[in-house]
Amino acid sequence: MRVRRLALSDLADVVRIERASFGPEAYSVMTFLAHVFRDRKGLFVAEDDDGRAVGYVLVRIGLRWLGVRRGGITSIAVDPSHRRRGFGRALMAAALAHLKSNGVDEADLEVNVVNRAAQSLYGASGFVQSRLLPDYYGAGGDGLKMVLDLRRSTAVEQSPQVSRAEHGTGG
């Protein structure tokens, strides 16, 4: 398993993973292209042993506001056939390392209240529930806002580490 920055050649796999994971709620190809051209450094993919992208994470970094720099996880998904093998943990570790190395103080994300597996992954990474987001995913589809204070968290140091060469922060 290896985590690295997205290459344009990964886009078809990323969109396939997105559709398999989120169905009709999936981001479009154009949404991913917009993120690629805005800041490819915040898009990571996890490869299986054959070098095929089987998961991705899309990270955002905001501007400093009132002395605090915020960022977060916009989307993370692993191909259904590769779940529960550590790819999600490795992607989250790369995302948090990227946020921390870019001076982010606080990270957040949103998750569907019924997605217990994702909530478990996020909790293991140090995120805590902040508030309920009624109808965030449409009528009756409540979400949860989860937050992580990267200034105080040891989750980044305790998360499975991805080498600098593997996630592309070196050089």
The number of residues making up the chain comes to 171
Domain CATH number, residue 7: 3.40.630.30
Task: Look at phi and psi of residue 86 and say left if phi exceeds 0, alpha if psi is from -120 to 50, else beta.
Answer: left
| CB atoms closer than 10 angstroms to residue 153 | 19
Domain count for the chain, please give it: 1
Over the stretch 42-53, which tens digit does the pLDDT of each residue have? Answer: 899 999 999 999
pTM for this prediction: 0.84
Over the stretch 67-119, which tens digit does the pLDDT of each residue have? Answer: 678 899 999 999 999 999 999 999 999 999 999 998 899 999 999 999 999 99
Question: Does 170 reside within a domain?
Answer: no
Boundaries of domain holding 18: 2-164
